[in-house]
Structure 1
Amino acid sequence: MRRIIDRVSQVPMLVATVLSALPVALLWGVEWGETPFQWAWLPSIGQSVVVAVVVATVVPMVVGVASDLLHGRAGVDILAIMALVSTLLVGQYWASWAVALMVWSGDAIERYANGRATSNLTALVAAAPRQAHVVMLRGVGASARGRGADGWRSAGNDGSAGDAPSARGSKAGSGVGSGTGSGAGSGTDAHFHTIPVDEVAVGDVVLVLPGETVPVDGSLLSVSATLDLSSINGESVPREVFAGARVLSGAVNGSTAITVKATRVSADSQYQRILAMVADAQESRAPAVRIADRLALPFTAVSLLIAGVAWAVSGTPLRFVQVLVLATPCPLLIAAPVAFVAGTGRLAKAGVLVKSQDALETLSRVDHVFFDKTGTLTSTVPRVVGVDMVPGTSRPRRLSGEWDSDRILELAGVVETYSVHILAKGIVRAGAEAARRRPGRSRRPVVVGVREDAGNGVQADVDGVRVRVGRLGFVSDQDADGVGGIHGWRPLKPDEMVAYVSCDGVLTARVVMRDLPRVNSRSTLDALRGMGMDLTMVTGDRAESARVIADEVGIDDVRADLLPQDKVAVVSSGGAGRSRSRTATMMVGDGVNDAPVLAAADVGMAMTDGTATAAADSAQAVIMNDDIASVHRALSIARRTMRVMLQAVVGGLLLALFGMVAAAFDLIPVVAGAFLQEGIDVVSILWALTVLIDVPLALPGSDGGKASAVHRPSPLP
């Protein structure tokens, strides 16, 4: 019932107009002369109710038209005003009532349509964090600046967070003020205040209770956390992160309270950046929508011309009225912007944010897509594709179990855990997979003496064995020249990289890695080619490496050995030398060095995992789920948005013109014409809303677009 009351309260004039039909019908024949007022010159009481409804409708419309004219816009509501006034002048009261009903129901339909069109975007806004629980820790954040003067107590004795405080807490007054909560965890007491999220400062320690949204970007102080990132990047499976990991605002915490040290204030945090992009997209107007606005003026002139000719030929002003009641340009005024807002929301639901409706329209015209290679067509982290062991090496005495490639990978992965090198993550991931495959594994190895030589490698004592991983000169005294031939290793391919492993100073193996294509790169490019797209790879890598990846993903046009400025030149030229002229170009990239070329393309699309990058800042569209299949998805949605918008606008206008011509020949009575125009408006607007429907697309499989987890190392040669 409350929902019904809320809906009714939003459209009071529509309700009043509908309810007025009862007194109009009942008092239609009751004249004012039959009352004590003796105003016989007035229309009947029922007809006077219609006059009151029309006046209540016309007055705000006149104010709106005047405001539009003052701001240099055409007041197209003039057609509806003329229809309302002219129907009264010719005594067509029921037609006047029908036009008033049409106006207010159109307003209600527009509210509904905009609400539905923005539903995916408003869901993002509604989920925005508004409060934060700031914990007092000695010497950290707010407490260090004296915010604790009102009696907040510190947690722990050393300024560290320990384990996350429990979810028990109270909030003062309206939830902003001095609430406290007690923490369990490591046995410390944690007291916190709940404050507006805008008041959180860099360095503050924030408590995030189970099920709450992380209010600001920060680093995790708790041992671990399980976070739902679906509102940021559409990732359906919660992600587990560990102490020190970056935590993004907008992530939803799992079942255990956690503490996060703020690294950004709310205004600079990731979720607020997303909301800013959403707001910009909602407030912008696509060129097609602006053209539709401009078309409303000539449509008004054509309508008046048809109505005037009908009056002149027929000799009766009623014919003029019959045409006018069919002449409101709602398909232009409402259907076009509704379609674009719906398309923007549909893209957001698919994990793609556009910064303006201009970008959405340009996306619909793209016919040439340029791709960066590394991190875009390929996975971000190089993957292990094989382990080549040195023949004849034996297992160190202090280690147990089999001595094979999996054991080597496990040792290397343990050591590389402490490295920041770009290749480390791939080896760590492969080592974890190898450890899970090893039978009888019951404990984690003891690791001491970790030391990294930047650019060369990392070493550590693992269960008493000195393990080194890195360049050959770092792990062994052997000469790099001919080492592969000495041990019978195969020659490396142009796109392969290696890390060598030694145990107690003895070269043991080499780990072979390569930057593999994402699992759905080829299927995505095939789908784009099926849309008629030309595809080009632009990369700074060597031509040999680029050609290997291009052959695997199915790209013929490869531009390699390019500096950032060279990429800009290639994309700006639209792929010079191609046979047909370009409608629009799009660049897809992920790295900082992609930022200039993303800005140079007609549409720059940045691939991210939801985090802010220089590429995302310079792009017009941002993929939030790091899935290359979203490129095809975005282009398909953009094309469908434009197609549906044109269908809604052109179809609605053609139906209205057909109705006006029929009314000019006296084929449509004035009351029927008013209801017919209402039907045309409803059909046009609802058709524009079909952009929101999830139409099955022949999309490549999307599991995040990563390369398959870890490739099982090749057997020993």
Structure 2
Amino acid sequence: MKKIIDLCKEVPLLPLTILAAIPLALIPQWRPWGHIHPAFDPGVGEWIIILFVAWTIYTSIREMIDSIRHGHIGVDLLAIVALVSTVCVQQYWASWAVVLMVASGEAIESYAQNKARGNLTALIKAAPQQAHVVTLPGVADGGEAQLTEEGFRKVQQAVEQAQREGKPITMGNGHFDTVPVNDVKLGSVLIVLPGEIVPVDGQLLSGTASVDLSNINGEPVPRTLFVGAKVLSGSINGSTTMMIRTTSLAADSQYQQILKLVSSAEESRAAVVRTADMLAVPFTIISFAIAIVAWIVSGTGLRFAQVLVLATPCPLLIAAPVAYVAGTARLAKQKILIKSQDVLENLGRVTHVFFDKTGTLTVKQPQVVRVEKAKDMPANVSEDEILMLAGMVEGFSVHVLAKGIVAAGKEAMARLHRLPSSSGKTAADGAGQRELPNPNENYPVVGNVSETPGKGVTGTVDGHKVEVGRFAFVTEQSIASEEVHTAQEEERNEKAMEQADREAAKLWPTELEPDEMATYIAIDGKLAARIVLRDVPRYNAKQSIAQLRELGVKEETMLTGDKKASAMIIANEVGITDVRYELLPQDKVNAVREAAAAEKTGRESGWKRFLAKLLGEPIHRDVTMMVGDGVNDSPVLAVADIGMAMTDGTSTAASESAEVVIMNDDIGAVPLGVKIARQTKQRMLQAVLIGIALAIVGMVCAAFNLIPVVVGAFLQEAIDVVSILWALTALFNRKQASHAGIRT
């Protein structure tokens, strides 16, 4: 009921028109003023309808002129002429029905647009509106680079006191104040209460925090952040009070960048929608032609009105834009953001996709692929135990390989049943309450950890000395401990360590593949194993490439600066045959530019050229798309017809050079985006053509007097509803995809 009331408030002409039917039915010909003229002498109920017709014509003319000024064809002319003709032939119920059609058309459009924008509206509603600024001396003025425990405790106590007294936090004893988010200044310290949206980008000052990033990248599991970590606007704070120092203004923060992409796409008009505008011209001509012929043949103006009340413009005015807004919203729900609806149109016509290798086809972070034990390592020491020991000490390292080893170590600990569980007890720290591990479990004890940059990390785990790093480091060769004083000594030291690594490779029977790298581990001073890592393909990269082929994409090309051997290994694993390797950034740009130029000059048939010219579309040609990580690939993303940047929701650089931004870092979104774009265009064209076809059939029937004028007016309303509801199906996915038989 509330939705109906809101809709009536938004389109007041609709309820007023419905109420106007009452006097038309009860007192249509009551004339308290007497008769005026025998040829044109409406009663009270009929005059009310005439006034509604006059108002509708006025507003329609104004909207049509505005549309023409903005370059859109105004098909409201059909409705205007239909209204005038029904009044002239004194068919007031038909006039009322046409006014109802116009009013309900606006209401249906409003409903359909709101329905289609549902996912976009959810994004906009989640935008932060206010921020709680800390006013403590020494904190608010930026005097402290990092919030002290005493400062945090003061603010936390003030929050708790305000909550106990039921006061808004703006009254928190003068320690903080609530301001509009646009008034927040750089360097200000903000407090974010549990469950609140982070208002602007900032740096975490208080202990640890748990944030929900689902609004940004769809990440389902809350992410734990530590002191100094970047906190993104739009993320939702967990169960503890958080404090951040702002690093961006509201307008420049992450969530606002997302909203800019959404708004630009929502306000744009796709080329295919402009095509619908072009179809309005022949449709208007056909409608008038049928109506005039029917009038001439029948000899009565009533037949003219009968035809025109069925000349519904709604499939052209409403169905086309509704379908594209629906497609844009559906993409947004899948965390795929586009800059304009023209991009949605071109995305469905992609024929050649270029992929960056590292970070796009691969996970970017080297992963452990195997553990190779040294020859004299005891058999009772398992690979999982080696990984566990290595992972414990690497957890303190900043080396590029450390994260992969730590991840493998945690998996090994799970298999060994040595991960901690909660003891059920809690302890308070600067971030609030945290659970303590169970002290009775056999969890590894780590100590004495130190790292030698570029060489390795050492520490003790359960009393065992563990060293992980270069071969010379873990075997404690003298070159690993030499002090370096000059650049020449550093270079000589590095060459010696490389030679030691090459000699170490001879200790194992199998050679490393070109894309593999190794680190070594020693336990209690004895060489234990070689841990082999590589940048592996994403788990769904091969499947995504296959889906693109099923969708009709002709070519897939991998671009990389790596050596041929490394590039070919990844290409073979994901199923790409066209590989360009050892490329500099400019080489990648040239490769995409040359492909785009070749495809633009492709010959088109005379029939395709004729259709393109008739429909007002650019001549159909192949479309190139570059998929990259959005930072290092910015130049090549910009030169492709479509640049698609894959991010995890934490990068705004991608939005500058890419037309499409994948916010959940999932390569599976590439074929999904192409499929949604194609389905959107198909359903839009289906909605438009179904509406036009039904209208033409109805007009022909009316021309032969098979459909009375009042019935025709209501039938036209049904055609509008069918057309617009069909356009709305662009919001949904069918079990059987409409192209290539892809099931989702």
Same fold flag (TM > 0.5): yes
- Give, in whole Å, the separation in 1 of the partners of 2:161 and 2:567: 56
Shift of 1:322: 1.6
Sort the Cα spacing of 1:59 and 1:598 in 2 relative to 1 into closer, same or farther, 3 A. Answer: same
Q: Secondary structure in 2 aligned to 1:480?
A: helix
Within 5 Å, which residues of 2 pair with 1:349-360?
349-360=333-344
Sort the Cα spacing of 1:481 and 1:629 in 2 relative to 1 into closer, same or farther, 3 A. Answer: closer
Q: Secondary structure in 2 aligned to 1:573?
A: helix
Q: Deviations over 1:509-538 (max 9, x none)?
A: 322101111111122222222112232222
Shift of 1:614: 3.1
Kept in 1, the 8 Å contact 2:393–2:449? The answer is no
- Give, in whole Å, the separation in 2 of the partners of 1:69 and 1:486: 78
Sort the Cα spacing of 1:486 and 1:249 in 2 relative to 1 into closer, same or farther, 3 A. Answer: same
Sort the Cα spacing of 1:492 and 1:277 in 2 relative to 1 into closer, same or farther, 3 A. Answer: same
- Give, in whole Å, the separation in 1 of the partners of 2:71 and 2:552: 41
- Give, in whole Å, the separation in 2 of the partners of 1:218 and 1:165: 22
Between 1:645-654 and 1:200-209, the stretch displaced more is 200-209
Kept in 1, the 8 Å contact 2:147–2:206? The answer is no
Within 5 Å, which residues of 2 pair with 1:49-88?
49-70=48-69, 73-88=72-87
Q: Secondary structure in 1 aligned to 2:322?
A: helix
Kept in 2, the 8 Å contact 1:498–1:511? The answer is yes
What letter matches 1:665 in structure 2? Answer: F
- Give, in whole Å, the separation in 2 of the partners of 1:81 and 1:343: 31
Shift of 1:408: 3.3
Within 5 Å, which residues of 2 pair with 1:246-395?
246-392=230-376
Shift of 1:662: 2.3
Shift of 1:250: 1.1
Within 5 Å, which residues of 2 pair with 1:521-536?
521-533=541-553, 534-536=555-557
- Give, in whole Å, the separation in 2 of the partners of 1:684 and 1:2: 26
Shift of 1:658: 2.0
Kept in 1, the 8 Å contact 2:472–2:501? The answer is no
Shift of 1:225: 2.5
- Give, in whole Å, the separation in 1 of the partners of 2:161 and 2:223: 26
Between 1:553-562 and 1:573-582, the stretch displaced more is 573-582
Identity over aligned pairs, percent = 53
What letter matches 1:130 in structure 2? Answer: Q
- Give, in whole Å, the separation in 2 of the partners of 1:574 and 1:255: 52
Shift of 1:227: 2.1
Q: Deviations over 1:529-577 (max 9, x none)?
A: 2112232222111111111112222222222222222222222233899
Find out whether 1:415 has 2:382 as its counterpart: no
Kept in 1, the 8 Å contact 2:162–2:169? The answer is no
Q: Deviations over 1:484-526 (max 9, x none)?
A: 4553342101111112234576544322101111111122222
Kept in 2, the 8 Å contact 1:373–1:539? The answer is yes
Q: Secondary structure in 1 aligned to 2:171?
A: coil
Sort the Cα spacing of 1:265 and 1:473 in 2 relative to 1 into closer, same or farther, 3 A. Answer: farther
Find out whether 1:490 has 2:530 as its counterpart: no
Shift of 1:37: 5.5
- Give, in whole Å, the separation in 2 of the partners of 1:276 and 1:13: 33
Aligned to 1:691: 730
Q: Deviations over 1:430-478 (max 9, x none)?
A: 222233444666345343453342x444445667766443333444428
- Give, in whole Å, the separation in 2 of the partners of 1:124 and 1:559: 39
- Give, in whole Å, the separation in 1 of the partners of 2:276 and 2:445: 68
Sort the Cα spacing of 1:426 and 1:613 in 2 relative to 1 into closer, same or farther, 3 A. Answer: farther
- Give, in whole Å, the separation in 2 of the partners of 1:459 and 1:523: 41
Aligned to 1:435: 413
Aligned to 1:205: 189
Between 1:18-27 and 1:650-659, the stretch displaced more is 650-659
Q: Deviations over 1:230-261 (max 9, x none)?
A: 11111223233333332211112222222223
Between 1:486-495 and 1:433-442, the stretch displaced more is 433-442
Kept in 2, the 8 Å contact 1:375–1:591? The answer is no
What letter matches 1:492 in structure 2? Answer: L
Aligned to 1:638: 677
Aligned to 2:120: 121
Aligned to 2:106: 107
What letter matches 2:185 in structure 1? Answer: A
Among 626, 630, 638, the alignment partner of 1:587 is 626
Sort the Cα spacing of 1:576 and 1:540 in 2 relative to 1 into closer, same or farther, 3 A. Answer: farther
Aligned to 1:712: none
- Aligned residue pair count: 673
- Give, in whole Å, the separation in 2 of the partners of 1:403 and 1:91: 98
Sort the Cα spacing of 1:29 and 1:157 in 2 relative to 1 into closer, same or farther, 3 A. Answer: closer
Between 1:200-209 and 1:65-74, the stretch displaced more is 65-74
Between 1:266-275 and 1:225-234, the stretch displaced more is 225-234
Within 5 Å, which residues of 2 pair with 1:539-578?
539-574=560-595
Kept in 1, the 8 Å contact 2:133–2:178? The answer is yes
- Give, in whole Å, the separation in 2 of the partners of 1:169 and 1:333: 57
Find out whether 1:425 has 2:411 as its counterpart: no
What letter matches 1:524 in structure 2? Answer: S
- Give, in whole Å, the separation in 2 of the partners of 1:520 and 1:9: 48
What letter matches 2:683 in structure 1? Answer: V
Aligned to 2:7: 7
- Give, in whole Å, the separation in 1 of the partners of 2:71 and 2:333: 36
Aligned to 2:172: 180
Find out whether 1:648 has 2:690 as its counterpart: no
Considering only aligned residues, what root-mean-square deviation do their CA atoms show, in Å?
3.1
Aligned to 1:666: 705
Shift of 1:127: 0.7
Kept in 2, the 8 Å contact 1:233–1:624? The answer is yes
TM-score by length of 2: 0.83
- Give, in whole Å, the separation in 2 of the partners of 1:498 and 1:597: 32
Aligned to 1:715: none
Q: Secondary structure in 1 aligned to 2:371?
A: strand
- Give, in whole Å, the separation in 1 of the partners of 2:544 and 2:273: 31
Q: Deviations over 1:590-633 (max 9, x none)?
A: 15222111112211111111111534431111111111111121
- Give, in whole Å, the separation in 2 of the partners of 1:201 and 1:464: 51
- Give, in whole Å, the separation in 2 of the partners of 1:411 and 1:521: 32
Aligned to 1:28: 28
Kept in 1, the 8 Å contact 2:680–2:730? The answer is yes
Between 1:591-600 and 1:238-247, the stretch displaced more is 238-247
What letter matches 1:303 in structure 2? Answer: S
Aligned to 2:434: none
Shift of 1:404: 4.2
Kept in 2, the 8 Å contact 1:608–1:616? The answer is no
Find out whether 1:682 has 2:682 as its counterpart: no
TM-score by length of 1: 0.86
Q: Deviations over 1:383-404 (max 9, x none)?
A: 1112223333589xxxxxx754
Between 1:317-326 and 1:468-477, the stretch displaced more is 468-477
Q: Secondary structure in 2 aligned to 1:207?
A: strand
Sort the Cα spacing of 1:514 and 1:12 in 2 relative to 1 into closer, same or farther, 3 A. Answer: same
Q: Secondary structure in 1 aligned to 2:632?
A: helix
- Give, in whole Å, the separation in 2 of the partners of 1:602 and 1:54: 48
Sort the Cα spacing of 1:36 and 1:637 in 2 relative to 1 into closer, same or farther, 3 A. Answer: closer
Kept in 2, the 8 Å contact 1:131–1:196? The answer is yes
Sort the Cα spacing of 1:209 and 1:169 in 2 relative to 1 into closer, same or farther, 3 A. Answer: farther
Kept in 2, the 8 Å contact 1:165–1:207? The answer is no
- Give, in whole Å, the separation in 2 of the partners of 1:123 and 1:657: 39
- Give, in whole Å, the separation in 2 of the partners of 1:697 and 1:673: 36
What letter matches 1:602 in structure 2? Answer: D
- Give, in whole Å, the separation in 1 of the partners of 2:66 and 2:176: 51
- Give, in whole Å, the separation in 2 of the partners of 1:8 and 1:380: 54
Shift of 1:419: 2.9
Shift of 1:156: 5.2
